Amino acid sequence: MLRLLFIIILSFFLSFADAYAKSDLYPFVAQITADNVNVRSGQSANFDSLGLLSKGDKLVVLAKKYSWYKVQLPPNFKLYLSEQFVFLRPDGKADILGNRINVRARGNATATVMTQVSKGDVIEVIDKKDGWYAIKPVDGVYGWVNDSFLKFESKAVDSYIVKPLLSPDEKEQIVRQKKEAEERKRKAELLKIKKEAERRKVSIRGVIEKMDENYGNRGAYKVVTNNQLTYILDEHEHLLTNFAHQKVLIEGKITKFPNTNSPYPVITINKLQLIL
């Protein structure tokens, strides 16, 4: 009875010690034990292959799930991003045009989504083919290798850890700068629209007359200023009939400028005042 109790206690202790050791194990450097070993996008041979490793290659192991090790992607591996969301810089780096843009395991729209990137993220482009950019692995993307192809090498992981292109503070600064640039652009567009609207506003003194029949728009009225400038009045005929041949003050907005179809600008009337 005592022997059985001792065995139970010993088993419990060994299980606890083993769990503690595993929790303290990661990360570590592992060595590949065979050639043509797939790094997968998930914990199964059914997932996309992200690339192949050769015997003797080393990589950083971060965790384990079932019989699969979670590993840091080697820097020579490729991920893929649609060209429509990328602005390429001369230095080979690129900015992201949009938010929550899928980064995929292969260069097609059905491949596994590995992560998402947004404005402010910076990527390094390796190659381009068929509308897809091949990019270096981005921060936070990992692969999976079956445990039968790895063996422990050491705990000296510092020289193998791939540092992100930008620190979180640098990313935040880029996002802030982009937002500020977009806000400046928006304000410039609004100012342009306001100036255009102001430019179209007119205040005219002149005499209202009926347009010539050969103008093609019978019933239309015009106002002719003292210096013989002519404007077509965009208003219902019956509202202007009583002002025909009268001197008036018109405030309004130019809605059409002279073109090949009409030699005169068109005014929409906001205010019409008879000058006595």
> 100-139: per-residue pLDDT in tens?
999 999 999 999 999 999 888 888 898 998 999 999 988 8
Domain layout of the chain by residue ranges: 19-74+143-165, 79-136, 200-274
How far is 29 from 74, CA to CA, in rounded Å?
Answer: 12
Do the Cβ atoms of 121 and 127 come closer than 8 Å? no
| Total Cβ atoms within 10 A of residue 274 | 11
Beta strand ranges found along 105-258 (DSSP E) = 113-117, 122-129, 132-135, 142-146, 150-154, 201-210, 221-225, 230-234, 247-256
Residues in the chain where the model's pLDDT stays below 70? 1-24, 160-171, 174, 193, 196-197, 213-219, 260
CB atoms within 10 A of CB 41: 23
Instruction: Using the Cα atoms of residue 206, residue 208, residue 214 and residue 218 in order, give the sign of their dihedral.
Output: positive
Question: Nearest-CA neighbor of 126 among 138, 143, 112, 108?
Answer: 138
Question: Of 99, 90, 119, 121, which is closest to residue 180 (Cα–Cα)?
Answer: 119
16/11 Cα distance (integer angstroms): 9
Instruction: Quote the tokens at residue 60.
Output: 């950083």
**Six token digits for residue 20:** 């503690």
Q: How is residue 211 annotated by DSSP?
A: P
CATH topology of domain 200-274: OB fold (Dihydrolipoamide Acetyltransferase, E2P) (2.40.50)
Torsions phi, psi for 226 (to 5 deg) = -60, -30
Nearest to 86 by CA among 78, 98, 75, 76: 98
User: In the prediction, which pLDDT does 11 show?
Assistant: 54
DSSP letter (8 states) at residue 213: G
Q: Which two tokens stand for residue 186?
A: 């928006």
**Which pLDDT score, from 0 to 100, does residue 164 have?**
55
Q: What is the CA radius of gyration of the chain?
A: 37
How far lies 183's CA from each of 99, 114, 179, in Å? 17, 32, 6
Question: To which residue do tokens 């609207």 refer?
Answer: 197
Token reading at 254? 């130019």
Task: State how beta strands 201-210 and 221-225 pair.
Answer: antiparallel
Range 19-74+143-165 classified under CATH 2.30.30.40: yes
Residue 66 one-letter amino acid = Y
The string of pLDDT tens digits covering residues 165-195 is 555 665 677 677 777 877 888 788 777 767 7
